[in-house]
Amino acid sequence: RHSRQRLVVGNWKMNGSLAENASLLNGITAHWQGAEGVETALCPPYVYLSQAAEALSGGPIKLGAQTVSEYSNGAYTGEVSGAMLADLGCRYVIVGHNERRRMQGETSDRVAEKFHAAQQAGLTPILCVGESEQERDAGMALETIGHQLLVVVKRVGLEAFARAVVAYEPVWAVGTGKTASPEQAEEVHRFIRAELGELGARTQILYGGSVKPGNAEQLFALPDIDGALLGGASLNADDFVAICRAAA
């Protein structure tokens, strides 16, 4: 097996409250035994970053954010810069999640700017790519993903992927309970690695889309899958820890 470090990232999306987060964070940190070998990060909503930073401080679980502004500072009402996220202790930031591409109108060009802004601030971008169900049915999955990657590569250069993570998230599998089959996932991961050229062998590539304790082990057994980006399963302490243990 390759020597890439396994990574599991939890994306809380727009969920939680001070009280719910406290119990979730406590549930995760209290039952961490057996997951020590994995690299892990949690991505709470912006307003809860401080709370999570405090709860996770000194422990093995890193902090990430769900998105970042493409701008560095100034008159961008409602936006949060990479420097601010780094200031709060973030190590990672998700860019190009399909919910933001579809619902916040994030084009691949804007995603590329966000990727760049994240790296400028010293954060590790987790670049999400993935095809819709119609694109898969039309036989366009790899073409779609190749284009999403190429727009970013053109902006930042291939070398930038030495300090980045890619997450393959088929849109039809995110939050739907449907998971890509091991063959479908492995095909795309192998393709992404090839598209990244020489760096492909080193870049961590995560799978995301309805990963649960029951299917995690099978996905992590595949040679080109280095971990998972979790939505729903990251909101349950037992499920999150179980998946981290499967990756460790």
Q: Which residues bind ligand PEP (CB under 6 A)?
A: 11, 169, 174-175, 208-211, 229-233
> Which CB atom, from 41 or from 230, has the smaller least distance to ligand PEP?
230
Residue nearest to ligand PEP (CB): 231
CB of 74 to ligand PEP, least distance (A): 30
Q: How far is the CB of 174 from ligand PEP (least distance, A)?
A: 4
97 a catalytic residue: yes
Q: Is 135 labeled as catalytic in the residue annotation?
A: no
Measure the CA dihedral 68/70/73/75, to 10°: -100
* Helix residue ranges per DSSP H, the chain: 18-30, 49-56, 82-87, 98-103, 108-120, 133-137, 141-156, 182-195, 213-220, 237-247
Give me the phi and psi of 91, to 5 degrees please: -105, -35
Nearest approach, Cβ of 181 to ligand PEP (angstroms)? 15
Exposure pattern of 56-74 as b/e (b: 16+ CB <10 Å)?
A: beeeebbbbbbbbbbeeee
Pick the catalytic residue from 39, 131, 135, 169: 169
Cβ closer to ligand PEP: 77 or 213? Answer: 213
Give the nearer residue to ligand PEP in terms of CB position, either 21 or 215: 215
Catalytic pick among 39, 97, 99, 113: 97
**Pairwise CA distance, residues 41 & 46, whole Å:** 14
Task: Tell me the binding residues for substrate.
Answer: 11-13, 175, 210, 231-232
Residues marked active site are found at 97, 169
